[in-house]
Amino acid sequence: MTAAATLRITEIFHSLQGESRTVGLPTVFVRLTGCPLRCQYCDTAYAFEGGEIMAVDAIKSQIDSYDCEYVTVTGGEPLGQPNCLKLMTLLCEAGYKVSLETGGSMPIENVDKRVSVVMDLKTPGSLECDKNRYENISFLKSSDQLKFVICDEKDYQWSKAKIDQFDLTSKVDEILFSPSCDQLEAVHLAEWILRDRLKIRMQLQLHKLIWGAEAGR
């Protein structure tokens, strides 16, 4: 008999989506344990280790209990666990609207095409810029989303340059700029975007506005 597929899970919870295209919508979050990155602004360092081993079928059963249309698979870095791919496909087959939050350092080509990938390009201010896997850009679908967390004006200028370098506005429908919490005032980022006529979406972390700066997704 084949052993059941398992994943190491930090938490499964029901909340409002705090970021991305579906911001504000009730969503079940599945936070996988482990991450190869150590971004200096990370707000989920508690997911770097520990967690509970759960069978993929048991994870789906817990998701089913919330009677919710949207599921976000996040971390840590969910793609660090290969069975994450099986979980997302299972959820897509069950009719869920699935999104994946990935830091951009792991390959995305084998992610189920029904999943909306929300992929970071790490800015220099993250201190993990050298871990970006730029090969992933060629595997992005128009329905996917690219996110830049901006720590300062240097990060902003770097992000603008990457949009031009890789012609990112032709790759995905949504490019997201977020000010790093407690490092960049949102008004400054807003003014730069308007000044430069960027065709991107600025976003704030809704969950932190509601539940406070220490809130994870």
pTM for the whole structure:
0.93
Specify the CATH superfamily of domain 6-211.
Aldolase class I (3.20.20.70)
Q: Which residues of the chain are under the pLDDT cut of 70?
A: 1-3, 213-217
Question: What is the per-residue pLDDT for 201?
Answer: 96
Dihedral sign for Cα atoms in the order 141, 7, 181, 158: negative
End-to-end CA gap in the chain? 37
Residues β-bridged to residue 74? 31
8 A C-beta contact, residue 17 and residue 203: no
Question: What is the per-residue pLDDT for 182?
Answer: 87
Question: What is the per-residue pLDDT for 1?
Answer: 35
3-state secondary structure of 10: strand
Domain segments of the chain as ranges: 6-211
Burial profile 189-216: b = 16 or more Cβ within 10 angstroms, e = fewer: beebbeeeebebbbbbbbbbeeeeeeeb
What angle, 0 to 180 degrees and rounded to 10, lies between the N-to-C axes of helices 153-165 and 186-195? 40
Helical (H) or strand (E) element with 190: helix 186-195
Question: What is the per-residue pLDDT for 213?
Answer: 64
Question: What is the per-residue pLDDT for 92?
Answer: 98
